[in-house]
Each structure stands twice: as C-alpha cells, then as structure tokens.
Structure 1
Amino acid sequence: MRRGRAPDVLTRNRARWLRDLQTARTPKERQRVLDRYRHEDVKDALVTLFHGKCAYCESSILHVDYGHIEHYRPKSKYPKQAFTWSNLVLACGVCNGSEHKGDEFPLKAQGGPLVNPCTEDPELHLSFEYDPVTRLASVRGRTTRGDTTEKCLGLNRQDLRRHRSTRVKQLWFIAQRATIDPNARRLLDEAASASEEYSAFANLLRDALLKGIPLSSVPLTS
C-alpha cells in the first residue's frame, strides 16, 4: 500500500511534539502531548487511505462509528513513534479495544510482530477461507506471525465472522454466475476493489474463477 505524503500537521509539528514529550514533567502533561496526533487532518488522511475500513479486519467503519487513529506500534510502548505517519492506521474500536489489540504488541519471542497491513502482503501470513457447506468466511494463520495476528486482533470473533460471512455468502452466489453473466462478473470485480468491505474474500473467489478452481471446494482458500 502506498501511503503517500504525511499530513502537513505531522510534518510541521512532529519534531517539536517529540521535544515536548521529552520535557514533559508530569504524566498528565505527557499524555496531553501524546494526544496531539488526534488531529482532524490526520484522521481525514487515514480515512482516505484505508477507504473508511478497519486496516485489520476490513470492516467498513464510518456508517456506525467514527473509527480510531490507531498506532501499529502502541504509543504507550513506543512513544517516539506516536507522531510517525507510517505507524498510524485506521482501525475499528473492537480490533483496537482492550479485549484485542489495545496496547499489545507481541515481539518475535511471543510469535510477533503483528502483520503490518501497510508494509506487508497479508496473504503471506494469513489465509482467507470460505466454506460453502458451513457458509463461514474465516481468517487463518499461515505462519506463526499470522496465527498471532489472528488471535490478537480477534479476526474470527463471533460477531465479526457472522457479519463477514453474510457478505461473502452473497459474493459466492454472485461468483457462481460470473462466468455466464457479465453483470455478475462486474459486481465481483467491484467487490474485489480495495475500497470494498472484505475485498480479500472477493479476490479469493475471483482468483478461483480465473484458475478454474471449483467454487464447491471445501474450504476455498487463498
């Protein structure tokens, strides 16, 4: 993913904010400095970059929530990266909540680090699966880091998988008609766009069609 230029507010102020962080005398003052990343321009840039989707679970956010400016490396553990553009992503409040990622950042000894959705191809570490029998769309780890990422972020948590599976069931039906119906093929191509919710699964179905893999394969895996 090409991030593009950092928002001007970060470019202009990052060095000064880091100096203020070093000279902060109290925990309250330090927290006030750390919170300066919460700027409208930063949020707008992340919404554009991630198409309003959570960088981790691919769920659309903005129709139900404001979304979080999330630090890939938590600012509580890596304060020097609190204002670094390459460390910021858009995340939903569940993936970024205390029950899941929160301030967690497992190191190599703990099976980490987490897969970085901006600098790495998630498919090197994560498998996207759809089972047409159970009608479940699941995310599985291909590697140790993938396993850690799936568990830490809760990528198969019940509510997420139910919502994701509903969408992918529809895409699976569309994909079945895509070889004979141009409109169905166009819908599948649109769903595979990075701007669409769960586009990784749409790409899974589209790639299966291109490779001649039966959609009835159990499970259908990227």
Structure 2
Amino acid sequence: MRYLVRLPKPNILEQREISWTQSFIISGKDRPDNSKYSHLEIRTQLHNISYKKCFYSEVKFATETEGQVDHYVEVSENKNLAFNWDNLFLSHKDSNQGKPSNTNLPNDTTLNPFIHTDDIIENHLSFEDECIRGRTEIGLNTIKKYKLDKDTYNILRSKELRKFEKCLIEILKKTNEEKRQINDYEINILRLFAQPDYSFSLMFRLKLKEHNFI
C-alpha cells in the first residue's frame, strides 16, 4: 500500500451520480448495477490514481479491464455512497472478494491509502523477505482485511524481489571489482523499484532504507 491522491471525479459521475443513486435506492435492490460504478471512464481514472495497481496490495494490472471496483464503505451500510467518487477504490479480486465487513473489521481500524502517508504506512507495515508483517494492530488489521498475506501475493512479491536482489548483487559485484563505493547512478537504478508505478513499491522502499539508499 502506498499513499494515493484522489484525481478529479470522472465526467460520467459528474453527470449521472445523482440519478444513478436515486434509481438504485428506489429500486430496492441490494446491489447497484456493476456496469455503472465500473464504467470504463471510472475504471480508467482509478487506474490512473494507482498507476494501474491494486490500492491495497500493489499488484500491477496488465489492462484496465483487470481489477475490481470496490466500495470502501459497503453499499449494504450506506446506499447513498454506491456511486460516490470518494468511495470507489480499485482492488485485486483476492483483496476484495470475501473481505471482512465493516461490522467485523471497521475501516477506521485499518490503513487508508488516501489518508495515511507513506511514512505512516511504513510505521504499521513491514516485510520479512516477501512476507508482509504488521508492526501494529492497525497494520495487522490491514493485512487481515485485505488479505495481504495470501500466497498469491507472496509468490508475486517473491518474483519481484528476486529481480531487485539480482540487480543489487550485480551492482555490488561491480563496485567490489572496481574497488569503489556505489555511485548515484547505481543507487538511482535501485530506487526505480520503489517508484510509485512499480509493483510492491512499499516493500522496495523499506528494502532500500535497510541499505541506506533512501
């Protein structure tokens, strides 16, 4: 998870949020129309916010059709927020499907990428190799709610971690052969792994801090 900035509301919601919400409430249905709150224009803007990554796990999506539009406050809790822009998040299916309800695990006991900065998030989460760990109760709740410790995520994080370690080993080998310190160019290569558009960039931010590269 990384800190995110909410971009402007898509035009489709500017035009139809009120009418869609009213129609949904009047219908008496339990769930809103997925084709509306997952409209391509909405999905595209959500992808733009997170660099095409899950807001929670940082799994990178290959296309804009991947990822599920998730209601941060559940529709069953507040139907008025069914099409509210600030309530729409982008989630990997493994983080969204079957997650604990707000009744069982309230949102305010977990991290929110639009509220908590990177520094705050790092105070609550850590990594042991590819495995995510909670430093605090809030961190543990976040992992539990969004299932960030699933094997699926561990496998993907491990794959990216091997790329980083291979790069680091090659750089250290070169500096050792040339009997010199690592230079700024080489450090910047490693820092690319921690850029917001990279998969699991929080893990790499913490890894770079371990090596005093940030």
Interval of TM-score (by shorter of Structure 1 and Structure 2): 0.7 to 0.9
The equivalent residue for 2:102 is: 105
Please state if 1:59 is matched with 2:59: yes
1:22 aligns with 2:31: no
d(CA) in 2 for partners of 1:79, 1:31? 9
| Maintained 8 Å contact 2:127/2:133 | yes
Match of 1:114 in 2: 110
Pair 1:89 & 2:86 matched: no
Is the partner of 1:18 in helix, strand or coil?
Answer: helix
Query: What is the CA-CA distance between 1:21 and the residue it aligns to?
Result: 2.8
Aligned pair partner of 1:2 in 1, 5, 12: 5
Letter in 1 for 2:124: L
1:206 to 196, 205, 208: 208
Normalization by structure 2: what TM-score? 0.79
Aligned partner of 1:127 in structure 2 is: 125
Q: CA deviation at 1:32?
A: 5.0
Using a 3 Å threshold, how does the CA distance of structure 1 residues 31 and 129 change in structure 2: closer, same or farther? closer
Where do 5+ consecutive residues of structure 1 fail to align? Answer: 131-135, 213-222
In structure 2, C-alpha distance between the alignment counterparts of 1:211 and 1:191, rounded to whole Å: 12
**More helix, by proportion:** 2
Asked if the contact 2:25–2:79 (Cα under 8 Å) also holds between the matched residues in 1, the reply is no
- Does structure 1 retain, via aligned residues, the 8 Å contact 2:74–2:102? yes
**8 A Cα contact 1:174 1:188, kept in partner:** yes
Please state whether the residue corresponding to 1:140 is helix, strand or coil. strand
Q: What letter corresponds to residue 116 of structure 1 in structure 2?
A: N
Residues 81 and 205 (structure 1 numbering): CA distance in 2 closer, same or farther, change over 3 Å? same
The DSSP-based 3-state class of the residue aligned with 2:125 is strand
- Mean Cα deviation higher: 41-50 or 81-90: 81-90
Percent of matched pairs sharing the same residue: 20
CA distance in 2 between counterparts of 1:140 and 1:199 reads: 15
Aligned-pair CA distance for 1:65: 6.5
* CA distance in 1 between partners of 2:196 and 2:38 (Å): 25
Partners of 1:172 and 1:159 lie apart in 2 by: 20
Aligned Cα root-mean-square deviation (Å): 2.8
Task: Classify 1:37/1:13 alpha carbon distance in 2 versus 1 (closer, same or farther; 3 Å).
Answer: same
Quick one: higher RCO (CA 8 Å, sep 6+), 1 or 2?
A: 2
Q: Residues 151, 18 of structure 1: CA spacing in aligned structure 2 closer, same or farther, 3 A cutoff?
A: same
Instruction: Give the AA of the match of 2:16.
Output: N
**Amino acid across the alignment from 2:195:** S
- The residue type equivalent to 1:163 in the other structure is L
Comparing 164-173 and 35-44, the one that deviates more: 164-173
Structure 2 unaligned runs (5+)? 173-180
Q: TM-score, normalised by structure 1?
A: 0.77
Aligned to 1:217: none
Asked whether the 8 Å contact 2:10–2:45 carries over to 1, the reply is: yes
3-state DSSP class of the match of 2:96?
Answer: coil
Deviation at 1:208, TM superposition (A): 2.4
Aligned to 2:57, the other structure's residue is in SS state coil
Find the aligned partners of 1:15 and 1:63 in 2 and give their Cα distance. 29
Report the equivalent of 1:193. 195
Contact kept in structure 1, 2:124 and 2:134, CA below 8 Å: yes
Q: Give the Cα separation in 2 of the matches to 1:106 and 1:31.
A: 18
Distance in 2, matches of 1:172 and 1:75, equals 43
